[in-house]
Structure 1
Amino acid sequence: MAKLSAIGFDADDTLWQNEQFYRLTETRFLELLSEHGERQVLADRLLEAEKRNLALYGFGIKGFTLSMIETAIEVTDGRVSTAVIEKILAAGRDLLRHPVETLPHARDALERLSGAYRIIMITKGDLFDQERKLAQSGLGDLFDAVEIVSDKARVTYERIFTRHADGPEHAVMVGNSLKSDIVPVIQAGGWGIYVPHDLTWSVEHAETPTEAERFREIRDLSELPDLVREIAAA
């Protein structure tokens, strides 16, 4: 059996901050619509719209902004003012311009693993936004390949790790989403290394596959190089 040859990295909330900026934008949205319902009710309506629109707009800021506008129209029975719509659009633009904040140990982990393995960024979301964040992060030169996908499923990892390396059986995926980064890669035969983040969108929640032989969990990326060496030596 071939040795471990590739390591995939999720980007948002694994290599750099992401969800906290969505939460701040959602807070602005809820304040704008506060006279049209209780805060939790409005938040639930927004989440319903986001889930409903994933199949149409995909993941990312543009879909989130459209979902905020749609929710504003719904909860006001179509009476939302153009001024509020303009503020929602401005909030979406602010998200697209937000500076990238890399997470602790991200660069060090990538540098320590680079060269020994194929390093692949596997992220989903808006193409332009993910390219922007990768460029601003300063981490781009550490990746052998970058894959920006519409969603992450078993077939996604089978395709990517076969294209860039020796298949998912000889690959590790590192990420903060159990649903997108961990469960499907284990289903594909790879290793899933879960790095919890304080904020994870509810849509990305899933049962922890604690019984899976190829599941691992670490506190942060500082623990990753040693764990990869342990897996490679097994």
Structure 2
Amino acid sequence: MKKSTVKILQIVVEVIMLALFIVLFISKRIQLWMILFGGSVLLTTLFGRFYCGWICPIRTVQRPLTWLKKKLHLPSRPGPSFLRRTAVRWGVLAVFVLLLIMVQVRGRQLPVLPALLVLGLLTALIFSESLWHRWLCPYGTILSLPARLSRRHLTIRQEKCISCGQCAKVCPAMAVDVTRPTESEGQKNQKKRTYQISRANCLLCLDCQRVCPTDTIKYDPHHKSDKA
């Protein structure tokens, strides 16, 4: 399937899922969204974090905002270092789970899911998307666990990679890890860096695949040598 066709299909799916989210919110049945998310968690072990790149309404509203910031030449800061910590990531998830439990136990209609959408939008407005996707999003933290076991994921085929770094530049989740070889290795391979995509952090948004000049990023079955 052509990249342009996949892009159109992705946008259509995103719009449909965003519309569904809005309908559930207006009809006061937003908790039904968690059923969709629960199914996505199970399927992540097979296909990777497709929920993040194709279904998540937060990502859908963040993307045009990020595009607009680039057009207006507005800065996208990575965010304060104290927020980019593992403890913060799991702390946010703990608060999220506690709020959901409170909603179920006390029967209060707290707008937890819509509040997350607003928070994600504000984060992308002030900082870069990566702060949200990598550190603050509780959905992403949950999905990063089964994603480590995913049977299929995006892989950079090293034999064709020219180490241009375009994939790392466009990744909204900082999921492309860079390895710098020693001086002797660099002279031998005539390559400055090696790029690998982390299964746990990849959103499957396909942005990296679209900008790759050598078409070396593929959605392949997992191999033992691949990055978890």
TM-score (norm 1): 0.28
TM-score (norm 2): 0.29
